[in-house]
Amino acid sequence: MLELTMASVSGADAGATAGMLMADAPSDPGAVLRVGRDRAVCRLATPDDWLFVSRVHLEFLCGPEGTWQVTWLRGSHSEPSSEVRLTLAGQQAQALPYGGTAKLPVGGSGELVIQDRSGPRTVNVGFYHEP
């Protein structure tokens, strides 16, 4: 099972969140959870006017062995309007490259932060991959 939580934070509300959203999916091969602005395909959707987040920004995909990976999907622009940082429990944050993929450790947790390059806004996506 993969569990996700998401909070949208703006500079004016740095200490508060604009609501916490949650989603989960069993670790079945082919299971998918998406984060972005398109509510039709994303289980976790950001505010519509947060254009630094793509329609489908992050995709969590369960592979054949029941392990999960996350991909920052490339959008229609050659350069993104945001940066994505991945932090695994007990490790330093690392940049997730535009179009890049990272494996999530079984029994591990962490956070992905989507940072607007033009202002103090972030989308924080926490995850826990149950063993």
In the chain, the percentage of residues whose pLDDT exceeds 70 is 94
* pLDDT the model gives residue 13: 60
CA dihedral 27, 69, 61, 59 (to 10 degrees): 140
* pLDDT the model gives residue 12: 62
**Segment 17-30, tens digit of pLDDT:** 456 899 999 999 99
Instruction: Report the half-sphere exposure of 46 (CA within 13 A, side-chain side).
Output: 27
**Segment 36-47 mean pLDDT:** 95
- Integer Cα distance of 36 and 81 in angstroms: 13
Q: Is the pTM of this model over 0.75?
A: yes
Contact 8, 35 (CB under 8 A): no
> Does 124 have pLDDT greater than 70?
yes
Kindly state the tokens that stand for 97: 């490259």
- Integer Cα distance of 58 and 71 in angstroms: 6
Contact 60, 41 (CB under 8 A): no
Q: Which residues 6+ apart lie within 8 Å of 1 measured at CB?
A: 24, 25, 26, 27, 129, 130
* pLDDT the model gives residue 77: 84
**Segment 86-102 mean pLDDT:** 95
Kindly state the tokens that stand for 27: 């670790």
The CB density around residue 16, as the number of other CB atoms within 10 Å, is 10
**Segment 66-77, tens digit of pLDDT:** 999 999 999 888
